[in-house]
Structure formats: structure tokens, C-alpha cells
């Protein structure tokens, strides 16, 4: 498929707008003989890993839910991040935290992503379904959660992440 002149012009303009963190663009040949110019983005990989290494690809999602009184939600969110989320970030492939303020309660949801149930079990001490309550959870939460949900990731489309607010 031939690229239009306008498309190539737009690409050139957008290339100039890119961050200085990107190195010089390189040319990629398409099957039809046309060329695309792509930025080269530095990628950091663990020693011994390869681009085709799927061993750390998320296949399992572990979902935890907890509720706090609305007037303690900001304090709990900070506490939970420091003592619950940070250690999880060190071990899981990825972590998302969600929050919904409603009426006089706030619901928190933590989704952690894992390559396998075995990897998750190593983090939880042998039982993937085991809840790890933080020391101050009884002080903040309306009730202590009794279970987590473990889901197989079937597909993922589009940009599914977020940034730290």
C-alpha cells in the first residue's frame, strides 16, 4: 500500500515534535517497497531476556477489593500505596489501583498482573487466594475482604494502563 504525500508530511511534522529522548529515526521497508520512518526508542531488558521472551507476559489478573469510609479514603489510599502497592510493584508484572468515591464510602480495587498462578503463589506465601491484610487495614476498612478474584487474561486491546496521579 502506497502512503500518501500528506501522510508522509504529517509523519515528518510529528517526528519533529517527538521527545529528545528518542534517537534518530530509522527507515523500515514495507512489503510493497514503500518506507516508513520510525523513532528508535531505547528499550531496557533484563539480562538474558529476549524480545521474544513471553515468560513475563501477564496471563493472570488478581483482583482485590476493599471499602473505606469516604472521610478516611485519602489517608487509606496513601497508606495502601506505601505498604501494600509498593511491595506488589516489586514482584508482579504490573499493578493497577482503582478508586470509586460514592456516598459515604470509597471502594478501592487493586489489580495485579502475573505470568502464572505459581508466580502469584510465591508472592502470597503458597496460596494464591490468600489475603494479605495490612497492619492498619482494620482501622481503615469498613470490613476486611475475605477473598480475591483470580482471572485468566484472554485478550487485551488498546491502551489499558494509567499513570500515577
Q: Give the model's pLDDT for residue 126.
A: 80
Q: What is the pLDDT of residues 49-95, one digit of tens each?
A: 433 445 578 999 999 999 999 999 999 999 999 999 999 999 999 99
In 3-state terms, the chain is what percent helix, strand and coil (to 5)? 30, 30, 45
Structural domains in the chain, sorted by start: 5-40 (no CATH), 60-152 (3.30.70.100)
Question: Between 131 and 135, where is the model more confident?
Answer: 135
Q: Give the model's pLDDT for residue 120.
A: 87
Q: What is the pLDDT of residues 82-101, one digit of tens each?
A: 999 999 999 999 999 999 99
Sign of CA dihedral 109, 87, 153, 133: negative
Cell 520512518 belongs to 37
CB 114 within 8 Å of CB 93: yes
What's the CA gap between 145 and 14, in Å, rounded?
A: 48
- The cell numbers describing 24, all together, are 534518530
Amino acid at each position: 500500500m502506497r502512503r500518501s504525500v500528506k501522510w508522509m508530511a504529517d509523519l515528518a511534522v510529528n517526528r519533529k515534535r517527538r521527545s529528545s529522548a528518542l534517537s534518530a529515526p530509522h527507515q523500515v521497508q514495507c512489503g510493497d517497497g514503500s518506507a516508513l520512518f520510525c523513532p528508535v526508542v531505547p528499550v531496557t531488558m533484563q539480562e538474558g531476556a529476549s524480545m521474544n521472551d513471553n515468560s513475563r507476559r501477564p496471563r493472570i489478573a488478581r483482583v482485590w477489593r476493599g471499602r473505606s469510609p469516604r472521610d478516611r479514603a485519602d489517608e487509606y489510599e496513601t497508606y495502601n500505596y506505601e505498604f501494600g502497592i509498593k511491595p506488589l510493584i516489586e514482584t508482579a508484572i504490573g499493578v493497577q489501583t482503582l478508586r470509586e468515591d460514592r456516598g459515604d464510602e470509597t471502594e478501592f480495587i487493586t489489580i495485579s498482573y502475573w505470568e502464572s498462578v505459581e508466580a502469584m503463589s510465591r508472592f502470597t506465601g503458597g496460596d494464591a487466594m490468600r489475603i494479605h491484610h495490612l497492619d492498619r487495614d482494620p482501622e481503615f476498612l469498613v470490613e476486611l475482604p475475605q477473598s480475591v478474584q483470580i482471572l485468566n487474561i484472554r485478550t487485551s486491546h488498546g491502551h489499558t494502563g494509567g499513570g500515577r496521579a
